[in-house]
Structure 1
């Protein structure tokens, strides 16, 4: 239980670092650019890669920073490219997904199994259930009408998103991109 609590306190401490804010800003710009290239299938299904920077921020800085980053990026992307009506519930679901990724990834070894499990849980809880409830409220459609297409899309995208994210994290880690952050985190633990 103590490790779980320190996960949040350490992530909260990351907010005070200039390196965290500047890194989040750079990945935020990348998330906005990737968000512009999403593919929409009607109002209910969207395929995109803007979640990759959200996952990287959650991996580097934990659940608090990851949740705040994901939520703020959702609002910022909407302000830059409005697509439908703004619904705060969808922003809260995005915040929750960044928070959950931070709980799975922060200060933990990145394995394919961990990525598959975390992506499955986030896709099931956030994308399929909570987002479908929000879309049902927003557009006045029945939950069960929207659910099959959204569940199928997420089931198909689950291994694809997982492999892309895992491969990218491993490649960046192999190139030494994350070494600066790991050294800072190790110094904080001592």
Structure 2
């Protein structure tokens, strides 16, 4: 029965709901600030996504990720494509499953969770979706291996992997944030 308890969502009291709203707003604001051009962008929304995953788990993390994705696209004036939202949900599930109810996140847990998310969501699924919507031929494995977008996204993910692990480790294991979470969630 421990598995069922793991997927139980934390109760949303006034403080926890307010914190969730602040984290959602912060995620939307951070998503506006990226480094690089439109082909090779580095963003930092993994920080707020990690905090939401650690404190609220997959049960609140999934609808929140969907809402953040919708609002980000709405505010950005971009067309809303549900397939990208599903990839965002996959990322939220991976992080929620790996981080939730853990006071301390080890290097191994962060490395595996972030690596899995980067591989599945960024390199494979997002690249395939970008190929479909931008008419880039990645319809077969051979075409994908010959496509520069696949190699650029794989290189970006490989570069970001240790950076995300280090930043996530420092922020998600921060003693002040752990102390604040205990006060808010207990």
Equivalent in the alignment of 2:156: 153
Equivalent in the alignment of 2:179: 176
RMSD of aligned residue pairs (Cα, Å):
1.9
| Secondary structure of residue in 2 paired with 1:178 | helix
* Structure 2 residue runs without a partner (length 5+): 139-143
| Candidates 130, 145, 165, aligned match of 2:168 | 165
- Matched residues in 2 for 1:39 and 1:142: separation? 26
Q: Is the 8 A contact 2:50 2:172 kept in 1?
A: no
Q: Is the 8 A contact 2:57 2:96 kept in 1?
A: yes
| Candidates 45, 70, 93, aligned match of 2:87 | 93
Which of structure 1's runs of 4+ aligned residues deviate more than 3 A? 15-20, 172-175
- Counting matched residue pairs gives 177
- Matched residues in 2 for 1:72 and 1:15: separation? 19
- Matched residues in 2 for 1:33 and 1:52: separation? 12
Q: TM-score, normalised by structure 1?
A: 0.84
* Displacement after TM superposition at 1:141 (Å): 0.6
- Matched residues in 1 for 2:67 and 2:135: separation? 26
Q: TM-score, normalised by structure 2?
A: 0.86
Equivalent in the alignment of 1:26: 22
The answer to whether residue 76 in structure 2 is matched with residue 111 in structure 1 is no
* Structure 1 residue runs without a partner (length 5+): 185-190
Equivalent in the alignment of 1:4: 3
By relative contact order (CA 8 Å, sep 6+), the higher-ranking structure is 2
